[in-house]
């Protein structure tokens, strides 16, 4: 039985993330509504600097909105928050809690994603047997994360695409202007942050990006 939310994940093209700092004064709830209107089917809530209570209130609203719209909702890092609001899944990094322990906490029905930056890390992720998808990147330099590693470029992306069956999201500095290169190197699901949430007209931007992807 597929996990709730994985059907969207496996058929989507764009994996959207919140980033209120770059959202032109709009809050995350407003941005998520625009993402849903634009037809985005997978959304990750990623906030590093907000208070827990504020994130909880936001995510309660977003969970209600995404559930009603049939959109997969992933929480970055905050496992407790994901459990409290009934998210579809969580995404963790290499320096967060061990994925096997996260799986123990969230059970078998929630999606578990893991960021990876090297062939060794994807091999380890696959060997764990508890990861549903991985993040591959950062492909390019990115300013949306303060503790990000150096860009991995296309070599690692191509390696994952050619050698592993695990679903993956390409991430890191990807915008409409370079998205075709990313797709040409093996990406199927592409994470985009500032180019979407920082657009004046988010639905129009998503449509423009999807038009670009169709030309690949």
Percentage of the residues of the chain whose pLDDT score is greater than 70: 97
pLDDT of 9 reads: 93
Query: pLDDT by residue (tens digit) across 9-45?
Result: 999 999 999 999 999 999 999 999 999 999 999 999 9
Is residue 115 among the annotated active site residues? yes
2-6, 50-54, 124-128, 211-215: least confident range? 2-6
pLDDT of 141 reads: 83
Higher-confidence position of 149 and 11 = 11
Catalytic-labelled residue, pool 3, 145, 175, 210: 145
Q: How confident is the model at residue 49 (pLDDT cuts 50, 70, 90)?
A: confident
pLDDT of 140 reads: 94
Is residue 50 among the annotated active site residues? no
pLDDT of 23 reads: 97
Is residue 143 among the annotated active site residues? no
Catalytic-labelled residue, pool 41, 46, 63, 183: 46
Q: What is the 3-state secondary structure (H, E, C) of 108-139?
A: CCCEEEEEECCHHHHHHHHHHCCCCEEEECCC
Catalytic-labelled residue, pool 115, 170, 183, 205: 115
pLDDT of 1 reads: 66
Is 162 a residue whose pLDDT tops 70?
yes
Does residue 2 lie in a domain region? no
Domain containing residue 47: 9-214
Residue 77 to residue 43: CA distance in whole angstroms: 14
Q: Record the pTM.
A: 0.95
Is 139 a residue whose pLDDT tops 70?
yes
CATH number, position 68: 3.20.20.70
Does residue 163 lie in a domain region? yes
Query: pLDDT by residue (tens digit) across 67-107?
Result: 999 999 999 999 999 999 999 999 999 999 999 999 999 99
pLDDT of 194 reads: 96
Number of structural domains the chain divides into: 1
94-98, 147-151, 202-206: least confident range? 147-151
Does residue 126 lie in a domain region? yes
Does residue 1 lie in a domain region? no
């Amino acid at each position: 039985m597929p996990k709730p939310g994985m059907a969207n994940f496996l058929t989507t093209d764009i994996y959207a993330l919140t980033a209120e700092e770059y959202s032109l004064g709009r809050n995350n709830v407003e941005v998520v509504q625009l993402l849903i209107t634009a037809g985005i089917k997978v959304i990750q809530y990623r906030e590093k600097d907000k208070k827990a209570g504020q994130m909880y209130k936001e995510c309660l609203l977003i969970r209600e909105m995404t559930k009603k719209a049939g959109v997969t909702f992933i929480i970055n890092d905050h496992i407790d928050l994901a459990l409290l609001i009934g998210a579809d899944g969580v995404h963790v990094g290499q320096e967060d809690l061990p994925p096997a322990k996260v799986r123990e906490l969230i059970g078998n029905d929630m999606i578990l994603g893991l960021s990876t930056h090297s062939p060794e890390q994807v091999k380890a992720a696959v060997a764990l047997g508890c990861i549903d998808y991985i993040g591959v990147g950062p492909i390019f330099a990115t300013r949306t994360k303060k503790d990000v590693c150096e860009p991995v470029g296309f070599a690692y992306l191509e390696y994952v695409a050619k050698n592993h069956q695990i679903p993956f999201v390409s991430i890191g500095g990807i915008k409409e202007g370079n998205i075709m290169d990313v797709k040409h190197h093996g990406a199927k699901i592409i994470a985009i942050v500032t180019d979407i949430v920082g657009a004046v007209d988010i639905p129009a931007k998503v449509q423009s990006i999807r038009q670009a992807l169709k030309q690949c």
